[in-house]
Amino acid sequence: MRVQQILQSKATTDVVTVAPGSSVEETAKLLSSRRIGAVIVSTNGDRAEGIVSERDIVRELGSKGASCMGQTVDTIMTANPISCGLEDSSDDLFRKMTEGRFRHLPVVDADGKMVGLLSIGDVVKTQLAHLEMEKDALQGMIMGF
């Protein structure tokens, strides 16, 4: 399964972004209100300068306490996040996420413009649906349908 197909199966391909100077507190509130696990840090919405996940915020809270909420996201973000292309396979995504120990990947087109954001949940959901279709097809062949 290709990234393009996974993106098409999502309810929305909107990428939630915050500006580099945004506070960690604002970002935490955004994550909470949108019920998402990560946001892209971007000046223009086209390029991912960084990514901030709920895990990043929790780590910062654990090391610095509540004072970290006044920091800007660019102090805790992962700069220049690894991304994927529209033609990458789900196996490529699993490999990148497992090796990098992260759960979100910005999707970029051939020109390097950000066109989506995938989570491990998106990839797993699509993979499970694909396996279910294969199972049904095999059962149909075995049973003579």
Q: 19: Cβ–Cβ under 8 A, 6 or more apart, which residues?
A: 41, 42, 43
Q: 136: Cβ–Cβ under 8 A, 6 or more apart, which residues?
A: none
Pairing of strands 84-85, 104-108: parallel
pLDDT value at position 143? 84
Q: Which CATH number fits domain 3-143: 3.40.50.1220, 3.10.580.10, 1.20.1440.230, 3.40.50.620?
A: 3.10.580.10
- The tokens describing 119, both together, are 């989570």
pLDDT value at position 145? 62
Listed by start position, the domains of the chain span 3-143
Q: What pLDDT digit, counting tens, does each position of 38-90 carry? A: 999 999 999 999 999 999 999 999 999 999 999 999 999 999 999 999 999 99
Output the pTM of the full model.
0.85
